[in-house]
Amino acid sequence: MQEIKILIVEDDGGIYENVYKRNIELFNKENKEFQIGETWIQKKNEAISALKNPENIFDGAIVDLDLMGTGGTDASGNEIIKEIKENLRFPTFVITGTPHHLSDELNVPNAIFNVYERDNVDVFETLNKFKLIKSTGILNLLNRNGKIEELIQNIFWKHISTSLDNWVLDGKRNPEEKEDSLLRYTILHMMEYLDEHNVHPSEFYITRPIKTVLSTGDLVTYGDSRYVVLTPACDFVFRPNGDRNVRNAFLLKIIELTDHFSNLAESIETGEVSNSLKEKLKKVITNNKPYYHFIPKHNTIKAGIIDFQAKLSIPIAEIEEGIENKEIDRFATITLPFLKDLIERYSSYYARQGSPDFDVEEVIKSIFQQ
């Protein structure tokens, strides 16, 4: 059994007793694998103190905006939400009678944050959302005592401690460059600690791209098609004169699966997949063809096939202008482990030399000649 620790910030005792406590009791009766343990706090300052206390590990929070019972004029719950968003990492749902008082800068609805009008929310379903998020393991990774903290602790004492002198004695780089280098060094060690078997398809992408400039591995929509940017990273680097090493970016087209398999669209619509289609899909997914490279589905990103033979060269300036004008959508980046595999397969495909075919019959005949 896993405990889900929920912070409830609500000034009205009646609402806590009749709404939250009752729903939590019902949730705990119906769930054997997860049990909710709540911490109820009525005042803003007490809630912020509890959040700042390193001994408190919360898996989620429900926050009211009006914590002074003013009938809708108070919005001090914003300060609690700001504290969570700036310093902590767990799902937070605002349940209030005054949702319009939520600060615009905080009102960014997503899978781990949302605001609900008190009279229109299903509290039991909200509790179930905490369970679903907890069951992913993300909170065990990112909370104050999570796996990432444990990894960083191990990396610091077992690895960085034995090599830090290389950075301490480095007179070539400034402090900011050393910090960036150590960050990369730490992340590389974290990757070594993680099991890479059976990766989730979503690990293939970073959405949206983190780098502010066009980079190797970026996925873009150009015209009616999608492309992956495969220009070598060194060619994107600016030279002292302000120019790049190349003027054009090298792109490979992504074929839509429904274009590649004529009967796929119908199968998706009916939900019926024939064995022959399934076998064809398996070959594509496992990169059975040397000139194709599969990319998986992720949210709004459709699965597709990178075609090594469908090459396109476009001026980098034209792409950047298109991105600036919203005519080209730079919607994702392929993550490094998968990008390396793509580059290696593409390089191998075009590096293969091949050789002329022998006349087999003639060769066999020659073997038996005296």
| pLDDT for the residue 197 | 66
Q: Where are the beta strands (DSSP E) in the chain?
A: 2-9, 34-41, 60-63, 92-96, 113-117, 205-206, 218-222, 225-229, 248-256, 292-295, 304-315, 329-334
CATH class of 206-351: mainly beta
How far apart, in whole angstroms, are the C-alpha atoms of residue 131 and residue 139? 11
The pair of structure tokens assigned to 112 is: 């781990």
Please name which of 142, 69, 77 lies closest in space to residue 106, comparing C-alpha atoms: 77
> Would you say 235 and 357 are in contact if contact means Cβ atoms under 8 Å apart?
no
| pLDDT for the residue 193 | 79
Angle at 255 between CA 254 and CA 256, to 5 degrees: 115
| pLDDT for the residue 350 | 83
| pLDDT for the residue 369 | 64
Please name which of 71, 99, 85 lies closest in space to residue 11, comparing C-alpha atoms: 71
Q: How far is CA 304 from CA 10, 67, 165, 323, in A?
A: 48, 50, 46, 22
> Would you say 253 and 227 are in contact if contact means Cβ atoms under 8 Å apart?
yes
Print pLDDT tens along the chain (370 aa). Answer: 899 999 999 999 999 999 999 999 999 999 999 999 999 999 999 999 999 999 999 999 999 998 887 666 778 999 999 999 999 999 999 999 999 999 999 999 999 999 999 999 999 999 999 999 999 999 988 888 888 888 899 899 999 998 899 999 988 899 999 999 999 899 888 887 776 667 788 889 998 898 888 999 999 999 999 999 999 888 888 788 777 888 899 999 999 999 999 888 888 888 888 888 889 899 999 999 999 999 999 888 999 999 999 999 999 999 999 999 999 999 999 998 899 999 999 999 887 655 565 566 766 566 656 5
Angle at 119 between CA 114 and CA 123, to 5 degrees: 60
| pLDDT for the residue 368 | 59
How far apart, in whole angstroms, are the C-alpha atoms of residue 104 and residue 243? 40
| pLDDT for the residue 72 | 65
Residue identified by tokens 């597709």 is 304
Q: What is the pTM of this model?
A: 0.67
Fold topology of 2-142? Rossmann fold (3.40.50)
83: number of Cβ within 10 Å: 17
The full set of domain ranges for the chain reads 2-142, 147-193, 206-351
Please name which of 306, 286, 335, 289 lies closest in space to residue 225, comparing C-alpha atoms: 306
| pLDDT for the residue 309 | 95
CA dihedral sign of residues 294, 296, 302, 303: positive
